[in-house]
Structure 1
């Protein structure tokens, strides 16, 4: 049994065989290294470029020869444990996880997070280097499951950041299968749990963030899928807007949950074809969804379908601002008003004279617990410049005072 660090040590007595079977010092698992003369993209490795190409973990040097972990040759995922992540709930894994992000983000490689508790004390940044021709990188971060892989953020800040270095944005990022948490104190902290910027065609599935100032923040991102994510007990659950490249266009949220956030559940600016389908919004102190529509990239804004709202206080379930003509669709949602502090479930503010078509189809409004129906508390209130507002209303209201009001 030969350990990797013994084999690659200076003046190692072991011969430079073409293929060597070793035991990884970090993971204690079997690992194979093969002698190579070129890097993964076909670049010849030599003394003039080895400082850039030989990272000392995946690509290594022994004497005058170069070796690579055979997982690279087979196209297999790399485990963060290979880079020194212990996931023991005690060791600060920040630097080791950063090494893993550096290699896999730069080279577009799939990175597997191990079972256990990964302690981080600072932001871990994955700078995604894109192909200058295709703007494609295809980085994937895969955990072992929301109940198996935990990232414990215990520093002043400590989240996972994914940022493209392209001024046009890069394409393709997959993140799944872990929970990232802050200490369970009274107030949220730690900045952003998961931060994505300048990346299109993002898929984030089975990710949970707890007690962050912002659970997940997605900037300059479009054409993306969010599935079974849970952002809870923070200040804001989810935040997205345009900085330089694109507003939130064609974002789809399936079976996502934004619960018990102290400021807002979801905050989106200048949406186009953003859909929430089968999502839950419970116990948010502040607006559960706040979104605005500007119409620059299309004329369909928010599509809210088969979702559930309950227990919003000190705000409304949906606060939607129209800054241009277009459409929005609210179909088959449940809105339960439980607190007498909530005056309306859906509030639409029109800042435009353009034609706006709002479709309220088959939504149900329930009054429960402390909520007292009153004529000044309609379930839906449309206000502002309403001269060109057109709406369809086939909702269920419990009392006449709940019926939609569109102020002139």
Structure 2
């Protein structure tokens, strides 16, 4: 334990591991040391009344050759009845700490799983990670899962990068999620959040995050509510105009009524079915809002529709306010490439103060304002 009361992961490392980290050669597997440190910091062998400790990771390059797990609470049936053995992992900053995962092509680099007790006894496991990067080794690019969450009540990521996996973050039955200055990059799917037996995604916030370079979808939510993106960047996601999205909302909010708020976000060079997709096939109704977002088209090779709305059963009420739809460079406007597309008959869209640089691609609004009821045409 250091002077700040933290456990230092290097205290669990062998001399060979320490020498390798100092040299930065990534030739000695540090996973056994990290696993021992995670168990110790989460107080696995202590009383349920005791609290866990902060796990500190100093600056350096660490080879992680096998999966890391914080699943003993589920394996041992810890039902969160006053239990305080949780995990906080703090690195020396994402610019300084990199964990290179070279484990199996399937499975997860780091799995966190809570015990889901009898119905009504919700897990309250919380996890906080800050100041580090978890990267998939280039030899296994876009395979496996980076951070796998199951039954976690609250997750906090701050100054964290997770990149290069098939799925960078897989969140199942994870209630609340808060990411600040996080980088979710270069996977096939950036984050995949859904319910299974406990809860749908409920109150997820992304502040000043970068979700770019993902080969299929940067952020995917099924039946989530109160999902917020603020000042985030979505660039270079997707690989085919017929699939994927920068953000995909599959089905209306199963809990609550507000699906999402996307505010002051930037979208460019995404080659997907549409950059923001609302594809609601259930009877769950709800609202969505986009404010002050910029959507850019730079050439005719990456010209996905900016926003797509489809609702077949539940009512989808959308407000698009002060958003800008622009193009530059080699791009040439065309009526064959509308900025916004709709299908189904349950969408009701309202626009206020939006700017469409290319009127041929815009809905016929008056002074940037108007309303569309899917299947019923536009109204000023």
TM-score range for the pair, normalised by the shorter chain length: 0.7 to 0.9
2:128 corresponds in structure 1 to 174
> For the residues of structure 1 that align with 2:217 and 2:331, how far apart are their CA atoms?
21
Q: Return the match for 2:12 from 79, 83, 98.
A: 83
Q: Which has the higher contact order (CA 8 A, sep 6+)?
A: 2
2:297 corresponds in structure 1 to 337
- For normalisation by structure 1, the TM-score amounts to 0.76
From the superposition, tell whether residues 75 and 184 of structure 1 become closer, same or farther in structure 2 (CA, over 3 Å).
closer
From the superposition, tell whether residues 143 and 391 of structure 1 become closer, same or farther in structure 2 (CA, over 3 Å).
same
> For the residues of structure 2 that align with 1:331 and 1:343, how far apart are their CA atoms?
20
2:241 corresponds in structure 1 to none
- Residue 342 of structure 1 aligns to a residue in which SS? coil
Task: Please give the per-residue CA displacement for 1:350-380, whole angstroms capped at 9, x wherever unaligned.
Answer: 122x443210000000123343322232211
Q: Return the match for 1:391 from 345, 350, 353.
A: 350
> For the residues of structure 2 that align with 1:271 and 1:295, how far apart are their CA atoms?
5
Contact 2:224 2:254 in 1 (8 A): no
Q: How does 1:257-336 map to 2 (within 5 A)?
A: 257-285=210-238, 286-322=244-280, 323=282, 324-336=284-296
Give the superposition deviation at 1:104.
Answer: 2.0
Is 1:373 matched with 2:333?
A: yes
Q: How does 1:3-402 map to 2 (within 5 A)?
A: 76-84=5-13, 86=18, 87-88=21-22, 89-105=26-42, 106=44, 108-127=52-71, 129=73, 130=78, 132-134=80-82, 136-157=84-105, 159-167=109-117, 168-184=122-138, 188-285=141-238, 286-322=244-280, 323=282, 324-340=284-300, 341-352=302-313, 354-386=314-346, 389-402=348-361
> For the residues of structure 1 that align with 2:181 and 2:231, how far apart are their CA atoms?
10
> For the residues of structure 2 that align with 1:76 and 1:301, how far apart are their CA atoms?
41
From the superposition, tell whether residues 390 and 314 of structure 1 become closer, same or farther in structure 2 (CA, over 3 Å).
closer
Number of residue equivalences: 334
- Residue range with higher mean Cα deviation, 101-110 or 393-402: 101-110
1:33 corresponds in structure 2 to none
From the superposition, tell whether residues 343 and 181 of structure 1 become closer, same or farther in structure 2 (CA, over 3 Å).
closer
- For normalisation by structure 2, the TM-score amounts to 0.81
Contact 2:125 2:154 in 1 (8 A): yes
Give the superposition deviation at 1:392.
Answer: 3.2
Whose Rg is larger?
1
Task: Please give the per-residue CA displacement for 1:153-188, whole angstroms capped at 9, x wherever unaligned.
Answer: 123246122221343322321111111122336x73
Contact 1:248 1:268 in 2 (8 A): yes
> For the residues of structure 2 that align with 1:136 and 1:382, how far apart are their CA atoms?
48
Give the superposition deviation at 1:321.
Answer: 1.8
Give the superposition deviation at 1:111.
Answer: 0.8
> For the residues of structure 1 that align with 2:80 and 2:131, how far apart are their CA atoms?
30
Structure in which a larger fraction of residues adopt strand: 1
Task: Please give the per-residue CA displacement for 1:248-294, whole angstroms capped at 9, x wherever unaligned.
Answer: 11000001111111111111111100000000000112411111243
Unaligned runs of 5+ residues in structure 1 are 1-68
